[in-house]
Amino acid sequence: MRDAKSSCFTILFFPAAVFATSGGKTVNLAAFQRLDTSTEFEGVVEGALIPFLTAMKDKKMLAIIHTEGAFGGDVITLQTSVLYHNDSGLGDYGIDCQLSFTEDIESGESYFSLGGVCRIQRVGHGKSSKHILVIPPTPIPESAKEGHEWYLLDEDEESGVAFFVNIGKYQ
């Protein structure tokens, strides 16, 4: 009985100790918007963060996040918004995503997927656009084995907003 109590105590009060040995993954997510409608997003952009950002120089960066210790079944959120008041009322410009991260392990190989819903809105200052992008579970290769690669997760063609993901080992 004493062992069960000490295990419960460890799990409740020191959750980091429980998960520290099991690792998890880093999931990096970035949102960009096309400034020029004649340009396209690449399906795969090679390089770590700085080369990735350099490759996106003709796009507007809306948000970028770095998560650590993600496990299969976790929900990763990406939210950024500017709420403002002007003469015509309230306004909002931003994105709001909830994405489910899954990891399947078969024969020692890891397979990842990410999918969910992203809301893109620009309301106010003479604009009124709201888009909902449903992203089906999309397979993503692990990109930390030989180098870094960023994968186009999905794009809302109408708003010109695209989401990129990079998955690696949790250090």
| pLDDT mean over 64-81 | 92
> What does R_g of the chain's alpha carbons equal in angstroms?
19
* Neighbouring residues of 126: CB distance < 8 A, sequence distance ≥ 6: none
Q: Look-up: residue for tokens 């695209």?
A: 162
Q: Look-up: residue for tokens 């063609």?
A: 157
pLDDT tens digits, 74-123: 999 999 988 777 666 777 788 999 999 998 877 777 788 999 999 999 87
Decide: pTM greater than 0.85. Answer: no
Contact present, 136 and 119 (Cβ < 8 Å): no
pLDDT number for residue 22: 57
pLDDT at 21 over 70: no
The percent of residues above 70 in pLDDT, for the chain, comes to 80
Average pLDDT in the chain: 81
Contact present, 33 and 8 (Cβ < 8 Å): no
* Local confidence band at 156 (pLDDT 50, 70, 90 cut-offs): very high
pLDDT number for residue 128: 80
Q: Taking the C-alpha atoms of 57, 49, 43 and 110 in order, what is their torsion angle to the nearest 10 degrees?
A: -170
Neighbours of 104 (CB within 10 A): 11
Contact present, 26 and 67 (Cβ < 8 Å): yes
Which tokens go with 11?
Answer: 């799990």
pLDDT at 1 over 80: no
pLDDT at 58 over 70: yes
pLDDT at 163 over 90: yes
pLDDT at 155 over 50: yes
pLDDT number for residue 77: 95
pLDDT number for residue 143: 63
pLDDT at 160 over 80: yes
pLDDT number for residue 64: 94
pLDDT number for residue 105: 78
Q: Is 13 helix (H, G, I), strand (E, B) or coil?
A: helix
